[in-house]
Amino acid sequence: MLWLQGLILSAALTSLAIAQDAQQDQQATRLMEKVGAPSQFVMNTFKSSGMLGVKPHTLTGEERQKIKAALAALPPLDRRVLLDRLDDLSFIDGIPGEGTGLTSPGAHHGHYNITLRASIIDESLSTFLTTKERRDFTSDDSGITVTVKGQGTDALHYVLLHESTHVVDQTCRVTFTAHSKFVEGIWKEAHTLDAPWNTGPLNETFFRTHKPLEIQKASAVYGALSNSPFVSLYATSASAEDFAELVAWDEVRHMNGHLVIELTDRHGAVLKQWQPLTFPGVVKRFEYVDEFLANPASFKACAAYKT
């Protein structure tokens, strides 16, 4: 009897997995209907912020396949919220520098557009993260540089995780809820850190001052990060970025991913290394993310998203 029960159970689990895969695929197919050329509204938003050279990107069949796979790999909550709240997901060429794109309000209240730099579709996560991180420091004669290694997924999936979490946050009011465990003791207001995070090296970075920091201070900065609740320096810029970074990296962690920040000398020898996904203050908050994704209705504004 036992082996028969075992067989029935494994057959039931297999059919559950097939049903989940089918739902994932169906939701990703429906989300792909939102993928296309940016609306005039989106183009005007970019142009009015001074990005005059932006152009709509025409996606190839292969690029559309990659986007669909990345959408299917989002957490179920993100997919459901995007189906309800996303107007457009579009890709553009000509974003100056290493900009990524943005999540912006849609034409109707409570709706959003996600617009991304098209070249991220073919970018590795390590290239994406390193380029972004190096902007935060000024180099000197020492030849010391920062390199970020991200494993477990690619830039497109990571960026979609981050941006879709902004839509989830706006919808569920996660970082906008007083005493939310994602902000209490860390954020006083959306852009104002609480004590003790409002003093020390983490306040000297590009994300707090908008000025690149000397590379010689990088070691002290990452040392402070390792004793903080933040998974990245970018997470210190605002409570919404903190939450988006935390959810994105928790998902990458669940895919057996890794994040390593290294300082190397002019010969490429590693001087110091940090692994933010293992920082104690971050690991504790990953538990909050898992609880939230399993039960988003714990936030009143997302009562409709029962699991």
Residues lying near Zn ion in the complex (CB under 5 A):
241, 244
User: Closer CB to Zn ion, residue 136 or residue 241?
Assistant: 241
Token pair belonging to 276: 């933010």
Nearest-angstrom CA–CA distance, 90 and 71: 13
Is 218 within 8 Å of 144 (Cβ atoms)? yes
Q: Which is nearer to Zn ion, 78 or 241 (CB)?
A: 241
Closest approach of Zn ion to the CB of residue 81, in Å: 15
In angstroms, give the least distance from the CB of 301 to Zn ion.
19
Rounded CA gap, 91 and 87, in Å? 14
Answer yes or no: are the C-beta atoms of 151 and 255 closer than 8 Å. Answer: no
Cβ count within 10 A of residue 304? 12
Tokens of 103: 């999540």
Instruction: Output the CA torsion sign for 207, 208, 212, 216.
Output: negative
What's the closest the beta carbon of residue 102 comes to Zn ion, in angstroms? 8
| 95's tokens | 């974003």
Q: Whole-angstrom Cα distance, residue 179 to residue 122? A: 40
Rounded least distance, CB 166 to Zn ion, Å: 6
Residue closer to Zn ion (CB basis): 164 or 228: 164
Q: In this complex, which beta carbon is closest to Zn ion, that of residue 241 or of residue 251?
A: 241
SS3 132: helix
Task: Provide the minimum distance between the beta carbon of 238 and Zn ion in the complex, in angstroms, as a whole number.
Answer: 8
Pick 241 or 250: Cβ nearer Zn ion: 241
